[in-house]
Each structure stands twice: as structure tokens, then as C-alpha cells.
Chains A and B, each alone.
Chain A
């Protein structure tokens, strides 16, 4: 186990370096610079342009800027936003809880619906039930998030008036930020109706962000389940006269979960990508929306800091997933 951990952590170092290099060069490959965009039509004299670039430190050779970014990042310093002049670290963690809350809800939604659907489809393989569920999953997977979000808003918020259009909580409620998670903070505030309001605001964004992971999990569960159901030990269990519930629920499911967990781990990246669009549609104040704004303003420190943080989070989640395999399946418990 120790050896595995060492190897696994060792792998994080080149990944981290690669990510910093990618994040650093990505924003700089984009044409245009923050000063020109800030000035707009009003323009800026070449002298002032040079002066501002120097003030921001962008006149230094690229490799100097990169190492400065790298070593500062290792110390936990992601620099200062060119736009708000606040530390990128603060900006990120002010907004991250909103994205975290939405992502957790979306993944729970995807699991709660996706797992049973996948299992049912596998059990009823080849029937119209299986085919229509998998057809729906394919549609869900291919649905453009922006269009899907607007469609739901127009139907449920506009026409039916069941859910609020956007935001995290009704503007009537106003309480201090404790955890940054609206569900928790609204409960802590003790204000009547605040929690219900927070939940109602979460419904549509959760569905929109959870749709693609749901489709992927349902399809993955189905195929993993099918594979497992054909295994000898399942046949043996059935032959032993165990109930279908026990065969599927205990013997098959546990083994079918291994590829599914990998899929869930991989969905974290998909969630982050989806969050960018979902947050924009629902005016959800998370890091996705912030990152888009920062890119369009060429706010180099925010973009490279934000990308790095997201990459670190994805790396961490995948590490946890790798370690989880062992818990689920003793056969691949990591030996040193």
C-alpha cells in the first residue's frame, strides 16, 4: 500500500508541472493583452502601454514570468487579479463553495437516477424499456447545456412559474456567509423559508449540470452490469437458489461498481466544464463564470491561478477514486 501511494503521489509531480505550464501558456497564446483590452476604443499610447505592462510584470522574459508563477504557486500565492486587484486565491475560494455545492448536488442527482436506470436497463436488456431508457440517455448526453438550461427556465420558471429563474436564493433573504454553501448557511441563519428557497434555486441548475453525468453513469452501469451478469459466479449464485434481489444487489452490483466509480471520478472534469455554462445561464456565482470573465479580459493571474486550482482538484479527486477501488474490491487492494 505504501509503495502504491508513493508511486501515485510521485505521478502528481509531473502532472502538476504540466498543468502549470499549460495554464501559463494557454492564456498567453491568446492574441491581445490585458492593457489593450482594458483601454478599448479609447486607446492607449505606446509609452503608457509599455509602462502598464511593466507595472504588471509582463515585460519580463516569459521563462522568468513562468518560474515566478510556479514558485509563487508552490507557496500558495497565485498572484493578484488585474481587474479587481484582489488576491486570486481569495477570489477563487470566495466563489468555489458555490461551484462545489452545485457539483455535489449534480453528481448526487446523476447517481440517484443514473444507477437504478442503468441497472434496470441491464436486467431488462433488449426490451423496449431498455431501448427507450438508453435512447433518452443518449439524448441527454448530446444535449447542448446552454439550450437545455434555457429550455428548462422558459418552461418551469417562465410558463409554469414553479422554480425561480436564476440566482442561489431569493433576494429577500440576507444573512452572512459562513460556509459559502447556501444550503448550510440558510439553515444556520434560522430564517424561515430560507432553506426552501435555496433548494428551489438549486433544482434547475442541478438538473442541467447533472444531465450529462447522469447519461454517462446510466450507460456505464448498464454495460458493467451486463458484463457481470454473465460471469460464472453470478450463475453460481443463481444456481444456489439465491433471490434475484440478492444476486443483483450483493453479488453483481458490487463488482459492476468498479468501472462506474472510475466513471464518476472522470465526471469531475466534465462537471467543471459543464459548470462554466451552467453557471453562466443561471447567474450562479461560481468559478466557471468567473473563469470565463477572466479569460475575456486576459486577466492572466486569475486564469492561470483558476485553471491550476481546478486541475489540482481534479487530480485530488482522481487520487481518491484510485484509493477507493481497494475498498470496493479487495482483489485490487494495493500491495506495496
Chain B
């Protein structure tokens, strides 16, 4: 009798365990590289964000899945002061941090965590500003946050205020970026006390949908579902990143069922992937633009008609075939079509070599010789710059312009192409950071960027006035109108030849459901499910 009493619960427990094991859902993602660390703020690489900010953390505001629009995250609502200098955020209550074998939170998320997450980047004397020697807050600096942010203050436990030095409409979008992920101040204090601050980057604690389990360097990252996630527990119990750097091998692993989702396929493999029965391929236009920037400060490229004529000579369809192999879309604007305020009413310059030739003659430009800079690396907005340069070289030869193609090592290329006296037009591109048009138009074409990120060295008063005004207005409809107008000025003045936006493909097992492609290029498994 005694024995059976013991046996029954034991049997039950075993049955439950077996049933539980059978139900545990695991999704394997063949990621393309290793994360640099698990604290997103010191880094700028998408691969690192996919493994850190996306599964482990939340931000005050988040990008709405599948769009570049901002929605509430850890902040439930926010208000902007009249003068645009103060942003007040009302924080969500009852948000739990991860409980792991290395940390057990004693309190919920509150304003102290927001202050900790930002002040470590803003204040040089903060205990976590240099928690590992040589740490640099590159994105925070790159988005000019040290100049823009005067202070972050705690109004009460669930209210924080950001004080700015100047009005900046894209501020809220900036706070949805990966560097603005919210870390636990309590965990920071625990690490500081135990003298192991560097663990903040190796054993992360966040509020995100998954918690960290283990990382075997360059091989596997394991996450578990966060049971107390404020937005509901995930359907997937175990999320595994199997690091697989080679694209062909990723494809084989996907076909063999060793992983369920595998990013960045080789364009040449797309056809066979689409044909495979157990694979589906989703696609989306990337939030990027590839362009050819003339140096508008050097003759004859200071002449708008010369630039226009050259633009008319470029056969974009040929480029899409030869360089993008179908994974691209011709660009007419400096903004990608998935960005709000994209002006679709604008007509692209017609491809017309005859008219282009005539236009050059009318401007008295004959026997023109020029250089085209081709990037030495593969980028989403330009998978093969050398090939692209060759196509353009041929197009320009057709209108009597002789092109010499030049190239430099990538770091040097980026540096030398900034020079105001640069000889030649530069092939380059941009991928959006925060889903705000300002992040394209002001960074790439604003007067402040001349001698820097404005590779066309183009400073146009009319354009500048429009984008500066759009920075200070917080009404989105009003901003949209200003940006649409700015795109008209851009098209008329033609500082660049806009070439293409890439199309991003995402092959995955047909078992996977609920995966939403991110126009900003990230890979997130929030809300994803997998069929048994």
C-alpha cells in the first residue's frame, strides 16, 4: 500500500515530464555570425543586435513589427513639451526582469533602470561608463546623443524626463534603437559589488521575451522563454542560434532541417530554395539606398544639367539584372519606399542616352573624363560595386564620357571619399538606423555633412531649410509634407544618381509561423511559433 502511494505520484510526475518534454518547442536560427557581446549599446553590428537587444531587452519605445513606425514599449505613453526640449515618458508598471541562475530580481522595472541605461553612456564619470576597458558607445555618439541630451531625470518611480539641448523630432525614433535598450540597474549594482562588472556584457539580464541561457563562443547561443514577459509568454520555449557563417552551408542546414530560419541566402540559391517543398521564402524591400554621389563642388559636376544628363545615361534595369540578380528595385528617391514620407509622385529621369548626349553638348561639355569609385566590399545596397561601376562605365561611354574605375581598402575608401576636393563620383549607400527620414536626408545630404557623410558635398539652401524645419516640428503629417518637398528639390538638383534599393530574402521552414520581416534589417523572434 505504502509503495503504491509513492509510485503513483512518481508515475504521474514522469508522465508530465515526458509530456512537457514533448511539448517544449525549439526554434533554431542559423545566424550569420557571432555577437560581439550581449550588451547592445557598445556595438553597431546588426548581428550583435539580433542576439542581444532583440531577444533579451526592450526599449522605452519599440518599432512596430514590420514597419519603421514607433509604438509604446516599456513606456506606455509620452509627451513632448511645446518648445520640443522636454520628452516625458510614463513607464509601464509590473514589468519583470529575467530570473536566471546568476540573478534574481527583487523589484520590477522602474525609472532607475532607465537612468542607469542612459547615464552610463552619457556621463563619463558613471560607474559603468568604462565597465570594460576600451568600451566606446559608438551608436550613442554616432547619433549625436551626447550633444543632444542634456540630462535624463527621474520624476518619480514611473516617470522619466529627457531634457534636450535643441528640438529634435527624430528623438523618439532614436529611443527605439538598439543602443537605447533598458538594462537592470539592480543587476548592475550586484555586479559592481561582486567586482565583476564586465559580466554585464557576457551574462545579460533584460526584460525581453527571452532570457539568456548559455553561449558557446562562435558556435551556439541558447535562450529560454521569459515566463513573466510583460507582453505575454512566447510560444517557443527554447530559442537557439546556431552560428553558421557560410551562406551555402546555411542553405544546406535549412534544407536538411537542422535549422528553421536562415538569413542572407546567396542570390544564386534562391531559385532552389523557393522550389523546395518544406521551405518558404519571404521577402521585403530593405530600408536602404545605393547611390552614385557626384562631387558637386568640382566642375563640371557643379552644373545641375551635367549631373542630370549623366543620370539619364544610366541603365538601372541592366544594373538590377547584373548586380542585384533580381534582388533589387530601381531607386528614384534618396528615401526607400518603405519609409514614411517617401514621395511616390516623383518621376524618375528617363533612361535616354541620346537626350543625355545632347544635353551635355548644350552645356559645352565634350571629351569628359571622370573617375568612379567602386567599394571593395559587399553591402546590402550594393552587392557588387565593381560590377556596378563597369555597367555605368559602359553607359557613360555611350554618351562619350570616359570613366576610370578606382577603388581603395574599405576603411580608406570611407575616409578618402569624404574629401571636399575628391576627384570623381562615389558609389556608396546607406541603411536606415531609426526609421526616420531625417536619418537619410539630413545625414546624407544636409549642409553639416559636407566634408563628411554628405559624399556629394552638396549644400542647397532650399533643401536645407526644409529638412531643418522638419527636425523641429513634432507633427508627423507636417513633417511628411516637408520631406516630400525636400525630395522634389533633390530630384531637380540631382546631387546623386539614385541607383537601387535592395530586396531582402528570408528563407524559413514552412513550420514557422508569425515571423515578421523587419524593414530595419533586424531578426526578431517575438511572436513566432513553430508547428511540431
Task: Please list the residues of chain A having a beta carbon within 8 angstroms of any beta carbon in chain B.
Answer: 30-33, 36-45, 48, 52, 55-56, 80, 82-86, 91, 94-95, 98, 150, 153-154, 157-158, 161, 164-168, 171, 174, 177, 280-283, 285-286, 289-290, 293, 298
Contact = CB atoms under 8 A, between A and B. Distances in A.
A94 B133 contact: no
Interface string B145-174: 000000000000000000000000000000
Contacts of B408: 31
Nearest to A174: B222
Interface string B198-219: 1001100000000000101111
Nearest to B217: A94
Nearest to B198: A85
Contacts of A83: 36
B219 A285 contact: yes
18 contacts: A31-B411, A37-B410, A37-B411, A41-B379, A41-B430, A42-B433, A44-B142, A85-B37, A95-B218, A98-B219, A161-B256, A165-B249, A165-B252, A166-B253, A166-B258, A171-B240, A283-B219, A285-B219
A301 to B, nearest CB: 10
Contact of B415 (A36, A52, A285): A36
Contacts of A86: 198, 202
A171 B220 contact: yes
B28 interface: yes
Cβ-closest 8 pairs across A and B: A32-B411, A36-B411, A285-B218, A31-B409, A285-B219, A85-B132, A283-B244, A165-B253
A283 B246 contact: yes
Contact of A166 (B44, B216, B244): B244
Interface string B398-418: 000000000011111011001
B362 interface: no
B256 A85 contact: no
Contacts of A37: 410-411
Contact of A289 (B36, B245, B431): B245
Interface string B33-70: 11011000010100000000000000000000000000
B83 to A, nearest CB: 28
A174 B214 contact: yes
Contact of B243 (A91, A94, A161, A285): A285
A56 B256 CA distance: 44
Contact of A171 (B28, B256, B429): B28
Nearest to B449: A43
Contacts of B249: 150, 153, 165-166, 281-283
A31 B412 contact: yes
A42 B415 CA distance: 11
Interface in B12-39: 26, 28, 33-34, 36-37
Contact of B248 (A32, A150, A174): A150
Contact of B414 (A36, A84, A165, A290): A36
A80 B411 contact: no
Contacts of B252: 153-154, 157-158, 165-166
Contacts of A40: 44, 414
B134 interface: yes
Interface of B: 26, 28, 33-34, 36-37, 42, 44, 132-136, 138, 141-142, 198, 201-202, 214, 216-220, 222, 240, 242-246, 248-249, 252-253, 255-256, 258, 379, 408-412, 414-415, 418, 428-431, 433, 452-453
A35 B287 CA distance: 25
A164 B37 CA distance: 28
A119 to B, nearest CB: 36
Nearest to A176: B214
Nearest to B428: A41
Contacts of A283: 219, 242-246, 249
Contacts of A91: 217
B487 to A, nearest CB: 21
Contacts of B214: 174
A43 B452 contact: yes
B218 A43 contact: no
B511 to A, nearest CB: 16
B512 to A, nearest CB: 16
Contacts of A290: 218
Given A165-B249, A165-B253, A171-B28, A43 B418 contact: yes
A42 B414 CA distance: 9
A171 B223 CA distance: 12
Contacts of B409: 30-32
B529 to A, nearest CB: 19
Contacts of B246: 280-281, 283
A44 B410 CA distance: 14
Contacts of B134: 55-56, 80, 82, 85
Contact of B410 (A32, A82, A280, A286): A32
Given A31-B409, A171-B240, A85 B133 contact: yes
A290 B217 CA distance: 10
Nearest to A167: B242
A41 B430 CA distance: 7
A165 B258 contact: yes
B456 to A, nearest CB: 14
Given A80-B133, A293-B34, 7 more contacts: A40-B44, A40-B414, A85-B133, A157-B252, A158-B252, A283-B219, A289-B245
A30 B408 CA distance: 12
A283 B31 CA distance: 11
Contacts of A282: 249
B198 to A, nearest CB: 7
Most buried by B among A43, A44, A98, A166: A166
A86 B222 CA distance: 20
A280 B245 contact: yes
Contacts of B240: 171
B141 to A, nearest CB: 6
Contact of B256 (A82, A150, A157): A157
Nearest to A171: B240
Nearest to A94: B217
The listed residue with most A CB atoms (<10 A of its CB), out of B198, B414, B452, is B414
Contacts of A32: 409-412
A221 to B, nearest CB: 34
Contact of A38 (B37, B138, B428, B431): B138
Contacts of B135: 85
A271 B167 CA distance: 59
